[in-house]
Amino acid sequence: MAKLVIEVKDKKIPTILRNFKNAKTIKMYFSGTTLNITKPKYVSNKVISKMIDENKENIYNQYLKIMSTENNIIKHWITGEHILYKGEFYKINREEIKENTIELEIQEKEKIFNIKVSQNVKDEELIKYNIDKIIKNLFKNNTECIIQERLPYWSKITNLPYKSFNVRDAKTKYGSCKPDTKQLYFSSRLIMLPEDKIDAIIVHELCHIVHRNHNQDFYNLVKEYIPNYKEIDKWLKQNAKELNF
């Protein structure tokens, strides 16, 4: 997987390029404001560059449409915005510094994300791209820590052993499970949630080791360990948009 930024007209568009050995076609689609490109392993990057150039008008128009519809949802990392972190809303404060860098300081006591941006950088799209990257890495590390702590606990309580877990950036799914291999996957954005919501997601995925589908037996098993799961699930659905940035 390669993360890059492509320039289309006056826009810098964050892009993820993935190779798949068994893929037969090239696919190009947006997930949020990120352009995703999947291709067979044998297809060269030169071919992809040509394809982007041939479709730049369509890519540009899609990007503008997404930016306009998500403008009130996605973060621009400017003073006055807020972000959900450990179940609480933190204020975003951005200031300029002389140093040629972008820094993030989380002030947990004051509930502030203090972002320092070089005064020499004026490109807001580039600033957003780099702040996104910093925060995604931080959230991934912090989510891994809490999963390492809570997953063994719930595995023991439920008597549902797992083989391994992986944390990856995902906005549309809190978690997933491969029952055959007992591998669990969690969104790196779980650190944004209250701990009881994280626990419910962990139990949810563990229970998929026994029940693949969301049938009544599955929910009955989840509720054995999370009695208020229905209320938690409702909260997760209502606040899913807060995970976007």
**Mind listing the pLDDT tens digit for each residue in 153-170?**
999 999 999 999 999 998
Averaged pLDDT for residues 204-231: 96
Please check whether residue 76 lies inside any domain of the structure. no
Across the beta sheet with 27-31, the strand order is: 2-8, 11-20, 34-40, 27-31
Same domain? 11 vs 86: no
- The pLDDT-based confidence of 215 (bands split at 50, 70, 90) is very high
Same domain? 102 vs 191: no
pLDDT over 60 at 72, yes or no: no
Residue 155: predicted pLDDT:
98
Averaged pLDDT for residues 14-20: 89
pLDDT over 80 at 67, yes or no: no
The answer to whether the beta carbons of residues 93 and 112 sit under 8 Å apart is yes
Q: Which of 28, 43, 69 is the last residue of a domain?
A: 69
Please check whether residue 47 lies inside any domain of the structure. yes
Q: How many domains does the chain have?
A: 3
Say if residue 90 is exposed, middle or buried (CB neighbours under 10 Å; 0-12, 13-18, 19+): buried
- Which residues form the domain of 128? 82-132
Residue 33: predicted pLDDT:
79
Strands 102-107 and 183-187: unpaired
Same domain? 60 vs 91: no
pLDDT tens, position by position, 19-35: 988 888 999 998 777 89
d(CA 70, CA 97): 29
- The pLDDT-based confidence of 190 (bands split at 50, 70, 90) is very high
Against a cut of 0.85, is the pTM above it?
A: no
pLDDT tens, position by position, 99-150: 999 999 999 999 999 999 999 988 888 899 899 999 999 999 999 999 999 9
Say if residue 11 is exposed, middle or buried (CB neighbours under 10 Å; 0-12, 13-18, 19+): middle
Same domain? 157 vs 227: yes
Look-up: residue for tokens 């083989």? 163
Please check whether residue 96 lies inside any domain of the structure. yes
